[in-house]
A and B are shown apart, each in its own frame.
Chain A
Amino acid sequence: MGITFSTSSGPLRALDGVSLAIRPGEFVSLLGPSGCGKSTLLRLVADILAPTDGMISVAGDVPASARRRRAFGFVFQDATLLAWRDAERNILLPLEIASDTHNARQRAQRLLELVGLAQFGGAYPWQLSGGMRQRVAIARALITEPQILLMDEPFGALDEITREYMNLELLRIWEATRTTILFVTHSSPEAVFLSDRVVVMGTNPGRVKLDLRVELSRPRDPAMKETVEFARHTAALRRALVGETRPA
């Protein structure tokens, strides 16, 4: 019920020979420089893009069927909220599109509480801070109760303090929902702090360079970032990344 895929060369070779399997409930980060195809990979899983060849299985299905039965939610780098809808109605959008009105408002309210915005259901996107907008986007992705959450650099546009706070919030939400998370980032500390596994990708063409299991206990605590263990993980990721960018 996780995600598996393996692709081989296509004409553009955005991705080449990427093979990856993610277990249910696992938190996996895709780490890599710009242009390594990590966002492309996420879009293949989400059936936003189609692979030239290869096989992708999402929650036991081809991506198109998984998308239609709403097996996954997607969180974009910019919150992508609809400006003319308040927070609650943004969260309700997936249910409206699925014509699933059963207890819709109660479900939206529960999610507003889960993401810590219980009082902000009536606020429009322009009235919310960047971090709050991203929480609304996460709530919107969760309202269809997906098995998998796909996140494309969701905190990339936030300042460092807000980002650290959002990381903690995301772990809390993940522990409350037990969703499988595939998380794209270009920050090694963020990847180590959040994940069970970090997959480092390289460019030209995109491929997997390192698949690192994170040996830190749960629940994670920001104090862990100052430990030798944490530094050992980020150093391993850095070596894999820098090896990539060194001129040939």
Chain B
Amino acid sequence: MGAVQVAARVAPTRRASPTTRLLVPALGILGVLSYWELHIRFFKVPAYLVPAPSLIAQTFVEEWPTLQRNLGATVIEAAGGFFIGNAVAILLATLFVHNKTMERTLFPIAVAVRTVPIIAIAPILVLLLGNGYAPKIVIAALISFFPTLVNMVRGLEAVEASALELMRVLSATRRQILFKLRLPSSLPFLFAALKISTASSVIGAIVAEWIGADTGLGYLIVVSTFEFRTGLLYATTAVASFLALGLFLAIVVLERLVIRWQPEAPKR
């Protein structure tokens, strides 16, 4: 008999079926909602403190026209801020990678802007820009800007040394290095930042609406709180979450369309 004998078989790892993968989290959510509903009914918690899920759903349907109108305003502000903030971040990151002096001059300013709490800047911007969309878009842009700037600078610089040597051997211009090497290799970093930005831009828009607005989900949150319309408050909060989730999913879909060269994305 040998010192080591091997007679083995390795079964392929089984993945959960699609129905199981959807069913399990759905059951989890359903469980939480059921407990919430029963707790409120059993302990007779007043609706102005915490509304039951059934009441929130009812409010959602009844108040849909109001919710929809205010959602529209917040979508414009959040999406506008998202595009402007990220566009500026991408341009600035490109500038920084090509001009170190520019980076040393402007990066501390970007960090300084970042360290001022957004709640503190909001009233200043409302004073400066008035009560319309402008201050909300600016705040949403400010809040989306920073993660993208930092990630994009990292992404543009995360190029293998040998890839740069290759470009040198090929006598590529800086412009060709940017478009054929740096930008494509920065895309995974960019999308990671954009995903963070989706939720932050919604937060930015809502916080800005708290300070001064006559429309938007943030405005609706403030009004329904003061009027103790707790059902409406919860319904508005749910709409805000769905908005952030919708923007996030849009970026995920865009990422899948753009980054097609990688194997199945690692699970996050």
A-B contact pairs, 14 of them (CB 8 A): A43-B165, A47-B169, A68-B171, A70-B171, A74-B169, A82-B163, A82-B180, A82-B185, A83-B262, A84-B259, A84-B261, A97-B176, A97-B180, A125-B261
Interface check A101, CB cutoff 8 A? no
* B167, closest chain A residue (CB): A97
- Interface presence of A124 (CB below 8 A): yes
Q: Which of B49-85 contact A (CB under 8 A)?
A: none
- If A47-B168, A82-B185 are given as contacts, then 15 extra A-B residue pairs at C-beta distance below 8 Å, sorted by A number, are A47-B169, A48-B165, A48-B168, A48-B169, A68-B171, A74-B165, A77-B162, A80-B160, A83-B185, A84-B184, A86-B261, A93-B170, A94-B170, A97-B176, A98-B171
- Is A174 in contact with chain B by the CB < 8 A criterion? no
A164 at the interface (CB under 8 A from B): no
What is the distance, in angstroms, from B167's C-beta to the closest C-beta of chain A? 8
Q: A43: which B residues are within 8 A, CB to CB?
A: 165
CB nearest to B169 among chain A residues: A74
Q: Which residues of B contact A85 (CB under 8 A)?
A: 261
Q: Are A80 and B162 in touch, CB under 8 angstroms?
A: yes
Alpha-carbon gap, A80 to B167, bound state (A): 11
Q: In the assembly, what is the distance between CA of A90 and CA of B172, in Å?
A: 15
Q: Give B151-165 interface residues, CB cut-off 8 Å to A.
A: 160, 162-163, 165
B residues in contact with A84, CB < 8 Å? 184-185, 187, 259, 261
Min distance, Cβ A3 to any Cβ of chain B, angstroms: 15
**Closest residue of A by beta carbon distance from B165:** A48
Contacts known (A70-B171, A83-B262); A93 close to B180, Cβ less than 8 A: yes
A residues engaging B (CB < 8 A)? 43, 46-48, 67-68, 70, 72-74, 76-78, 80, 82-86, 93-94, 96-98, 124-126
Q: Name the distance in Å between A65's Cβ and chain B's nearest Cβ.
A: 10
Q: B169–A46 contact, CB under 8 A?
A: yes
Q: Determine how close the nearest CB of chain A comes to the CB of B263; give it in whole angstroms.
A: 5
Cα-based distance from A96 to B184 in the complex (angstroms): 16
| CA distance in complex: A67, B166 (Å) | 11
Q: Are B261 and A97 in contact (CB under 8 A)?
A: no
Contacts of A73 in B (CB 8 A): 169
Residues of A near B167 (CB, < 8 A) are 97
Closest to B259 in A: A84
B162 near A76: Cβ-Cβ < 8 Å: yes
Q: Does B181 contact A (CB under 8 A)?
A: yes
A11 to B35, CA, bound (A): 76
Option from A47, A74, A83, A86 in Cβ contact (under 8 Å) with B166: A74
Q: Which B residues are in CB contact (< 8 Å) with A98?
A: 170-171
User: Is B180 a contact partner of A67 (Cβ separation < 8 A)?
Assistant: no
- Shortest CB–CB separation between residue B191 and chain A, in angstroms? 13
Q: In the complex the two chains form, what is the Cα distance from A30 to B233 in whole Å?
A: 75
Inter-chain contacts of A124 with B (CB < 8 A): 261
Q: In the complex, what's the smallest C-beta–C-beta distance from A149 to chain B, in angstroms? A: 11
* Chain B residues at the A interface, C-beta cutoff of 8 Å: 160, 162-163, 165-172, 176, 180-181, 184-185, 187, 259, 261-263
Docked complex Cα distance between A75 and B176 (Å)? 20
A125 CA to B187 CA, complexed, in Å: 17
Roughly how many angstroms separate A68 CA and B165 CA in the complex, as a whole number? 14
B166 to chain A, nearest CB (A): 5
Q: Is the CB of A97 within 8 A of B170?
A: yes
B239 to chain A, nearest CB (A): 38
* Chain A residues with CB under 8 A of B259: 84
Contact A83 B165 (CB under 8 A): no
A105 to B267, CA, bound (A): 37
Q: Chain A residues near B181 (CB, 8 Å)?
A: 82
How many angstroms between the C-alpha atoms of A171 and B257 in the bound complex? 41
| Chain A residues positioned under 8 Å from B162 (CB to CB) | 76-78, 80
A126 contacts B165, C-beta separation under 8 Å: no
Nearest A residue to B184 by beta-carbon distance?
A84
The residue from A47, A74, A83 contacting B261, defined by CB atoms under 8 A apart: A83
Contacts of A96 in B (CB 8 A): 180
A180 to B180, CA, bound (A): 29
In the complex, the chain B residue whose C-beta lies closest to that of A95 is: B170
Chain B residues with CB under 8 Å of A76's CB are 162, 165-166
Residues of B within 8 A of A80 (CB): 160, 162-163, 165-166
**A51 CB, nearest partner CB in chain B, Å:** 16
Q: With A and B bound together, what is the CA distance between A77 and B165 in angstroms?
A: 12
B162 to chain A, nearest CB (A): 5
Across the interface, which residues of A come within 8 angstroms of B171, CB to CB? 67-68, 70, 97-98
Chain B residues, Cβ within 8 Å of A68:
171
- Tell me the bound Cα distance from A83 to B168 in angstroms: 18
Are B180 and A126 within 8 A (Cβ)?
no
Q: Is the CB of A126 within 8 A of B262?
A: yes
